[in-house]
Amino acid sequence: MIDRYTRPQMGAIWSDTNKYRIWLDIEIAATEGQTELGVVPREALETIKAKANFDVKRILEIEETTKHDVIAFLTNVAEYVGEPARYIHLGMTSSDVLDTCLSVQLKQAGELLLQALERLRDITARRAEEFKYTLCIGRSHGIHAEPTTFGLKFLLWHEECKRNITRLQHAIETIAVAMISGAVGTYEHISPKVEEHVAQKLGLQADTVTTQVIQRDRHAEFLSVLAIIGASLEKIAVEIRHLQRTEVLEAEEYFSKGQKGSSAMPHKRNPIVSERICGLARLLRGNAIAALENVALWHERDISHSSVERVICPDSTIALDYMLHLMNNLLDNLLVYPDVMRRNLDITCGLTFSQTVLLELARRGASREDAYAMVQRNAMQTWQERKPFLDYLKADADIASYLSHAELDEICNLEKSTRNVDAIFARCGL
């Protein structure tokens, strides 16, 4: 991922230094396990633990010759350790190190993403309460439908965020497995007890059964969950992009002092954060597809997945970390305009009460078909002439046979739109 979208803490997880540190932790933990089984002399283990180290530049230099990253790493470590280095990597294959390391990195990255999701959960809860009763128009097909509240929009995002937290927790559990099982996963040259020791040291679970690699359905699940979270963020961003349109302007991104919206037009305040989130969500979906393509490998393994994962795992976690950072700041500082919301509610001259009148006519004895026809003809006049819907309803003789003017005034009341908001919030624990 380019530096522009890489935040330091997440970027550090995918650095060469962190990767090689995890590799070294795996190798030392495996040597400890071998020592406990009597395969490696304890003196050799103590020397390894005391001297083992690595130098990133030196590893890359060696790899220029070996064309093999794990061999280059082991060669560099041996330069520090000396003769006891022959006990390192006993009975292991490269994938034991690579796949177990990737599990650790994805777990580290997932836990960082969880923290950001938990912050998003808290922000959406707070702002849902803030705008719990703030009336705004609800839209279906982009057209004014019936009133809702802006707090319910935030509550919807809050609940989706909670589901995403659960999804990510499960995905982390799924990916957090160690594999130290040898060339084709049969433990022919190493005991399963070594794998269990390594897993325990690294905060992982020993995988149940592997080939030469951890099976890629685990990684596909993890990347798919990241894509789902990205889609949720895009959903919020699309809503904000619409609400910030000049002719709507019910909410907008915070515009800081000195910020510029356009190189050509000084008046512009563009929803650039929301648009950036939407763009990055596309990358997450594409990477999830690539992860699914990685599930099917030849026999006990091939390396067609490897080059893909070197891109999609860092890029997806880095991108989502950045997206969550943007979204948290966006929603925390979102500018909300209740007066404009109320003004927009009135744009259709009261047409939002059409269903209310329809249902009341049906309750008073009109057939649904007749009630619909009565309401619709007055609604169409309102659309065409832009005069109050209520005026047309009161002037309609057929409607007057069911509802008085006072009754129409009573039922066409915006405040009743919030009467069940408390119940919805209570369902969500707020």
pLDDT by residue (tens digit) across 379-396?
999 999 999 999 999 999
Residue from 284, 308, 375 nearest 102 by CA:
308
Q: What angle do CA 111, 114, 117 make, to 5 degrees?
A: 160
Tell me what the mean pLDDT of segment 110-138 comes to.
98
The arithmetic mean of pLDDT across residues 340-363, rounded, is 95
220-232, pLDDT tens digit by residue? 999 999 999 999 9
Residue 262 annotated among the catalytic residues of the structure:
yes
**pLDDT of 147 strictly over 90:** yes
Confidence (pLDDT) at 348:
94
C-beta neighbour count of 417 within 10 angstroms: 20
- What is residue 168's predicted lDDT score, i.e. its pLDDT? 98
Question: Which member of 262, 304, 367, 404 is catalytic?
Answer: 262
Rounded mean pLDDT, 105-134? 98
Q: What percent of the chain has pLDDT over 70?
A: 100
Where does the pLDDT of residue 196 fall: very low under 50, low under 70, confident under 90, or very high at 90 and above? Answer: very high
Q: Are 130 and 430 in contact (CB under 8 A)?
A: no
* Amino acid residing at 400: A
Report the pLDDT value the prediction gives residue 10, as an integer from 0 to 100.
98
Considering only CA atoms, which of 113, 25, 117 is closest in space to residue 77?
Answer: 25
Cα–chain center distance at 75:
40
Euclidean distance between CA atoms 263 and 266, whole angstroms: 7
For position 259, what pLDDT does the model report?
78
pLDDT interval class at 261 (50, 70, 90)? confident
Query: Is pLDDT at 1 greater than 80 in this prediction?
Result: no
Number of neighbours of residue 422 by Cβ within 10 angstroms: 12
In the chain, CATH 1.20.200.10 covers: 5-253+268-342
**Per-residue confidence at 11, pLDDT binned at 50, 70, 90?**
very high
pTM for this entry: 0.94
CA 45/CA 87 separation, integer angstroms? 8
CATH topology assigned to domain 5-253+268-342: Fumarase C; Chain A, domain 2 (1.20.200)
Yes or no: say if 364 and 315 are a contact pair by the CB < 8 Å rule: no
Span 58-81, mean pLDDT?
Answer: 97
146, 138 Cβ separation under 8 angstroms? yes
Catalytic: 274?
Answer: no
Q: Is the pLDDT of residue 205 over 90?
A: yes
Write down the pLDDT at residue 17.
Answer: 97
pLDDT over threshold 90, residue 265:
no
φ/ψ of 135, rounded to 5, equals: -70, 140
| The CATH fold of domain 351-411 | Ribonucleotide Reductase Protein R1; domain 1 (1.10.40)
pLDDT band of residue 297 (cuts 50, 70, 90) is very high
Average pLDDT over residues 202-221: 96
Q: Which two tokens stand for residue 181?
A: 């099982």
The pLDDT of residue 262 is above 80: no
Q: Where in the chain is the domain with CATH 1.10.40.30?
A: 351-411
Mean model confidence pLDDT for the chain: 96
Overall average pLDDT of the 155-159 stretch: 98
Q: What whole-number distance in Å separates Cα of residue 364 and Cα of residue 6?
A: 63
Scored b (16 or more CB within 10 A) or e, 91-110 reads bbbbbbbbbbbbbbbbbbbb
Split at pLDDT 50, 70, 90, the class of 266 is: confident
Average pLDDT over residues 320-327: 98
Mean pLDDT value across residues 63-81: 97
